[in-house]
Amino acid sequence: MKKYSFVIDVAKCENCNNCFLSCKDEYCGNEWPGYSLPQPLHGQRWMNIKRKERGDFPEIDVAYLPKPCMHCDDAPCIKVARDGAVYKREDGIVIIDPQKAKGQKELVKSCPFGAIWWNEEAQIAQKCTFCAHLLDKGWKKPRCVQSCPTGALSILYVEEEELENLIREDRLETLDTVDSSVLPRCFYKNLYRYSKCFIAGSVASGDDTVSECVEGVKVQLLRDSLVVDSQNTDYFGDFKFDMLSPDGSTYSITIESEKGIKKKIGVKLEKSLFVGTIWI
């Protein structure tokens, strides 16, 4: 049968916080019997936006990572819960029962994604419900998706076979966890913007007083003498190799102009970096 999933495009998120605010608007001061008690005004972020800055001046970019409940297929919170206090619906949505879950604070630590919050006043664990109370009334989208102005947040409601095809076609990924068996149903597009690193630089000719950008220079990125990527500098003489793991690996960058001028530099990648201007 069809099941719900989140799809989040990291490249489209601009940190406007409309998703966060619409979630607050829907749940703060509002009880939805059978789905959730009111969310506290402060201290909980059912849609929690993480931020990461990559690179060095002048080559810097910023990525934002919205993190709702992942509505995992093998959710650890369900295993930890007593008396059926957390359950997964047939449509894929994971719900914390607002009555049965009272006093079960251990649910908070059970989530590997930090998506469950503790309501001290109500003595209950709470999280994103996928706005199941609205979907059950015929809504097509949860509030966070409805309010996203850039299309960074979307949902799928498809059969498992179609979902698998979309994961392959759109190169969707899930967040890493220590336990890979949890099978989250929140998929990310362009996750590399948050999880990976880049090596960037510029190529110019001349000197510090009189110089110009050099377009069309062949730049190669090598690791262990093997070419990882190859590109030509753009109109501004810039190049950028992205989607690299920050694992401390040593890379070589070779530059070769049409005039036969060659340069080679080495870098150790532990975070995104700008190697500066390479003069040829």
pLDDT the model gives residue 177: 75
Ranges assigned E (strand) in 140-248? 153-158, 186-189, 197-206, 211-213, 218-223, 226-232, 238-244
pLDDT the model gives residue 181: 82
What the chain holds in terms of domains, given with CATH numbers, is 3-194 (3.30.70.20), 196-279 (2.60.40.10)
What average pLDDT values come out for the chain (280 residues) when binned by 10 residues?
97 97 97 97 96 92 97 96 97 97 97 96 97 97 98 97 95 84 94 96 81 91 93 95 94 86 89 92
Specify the pTM.
0.90
**Buried b vs exposed e over 161-186: b needs ≥16 C-beta within 10 Å?**
eebeebbeeeebebbebeeeebebbb
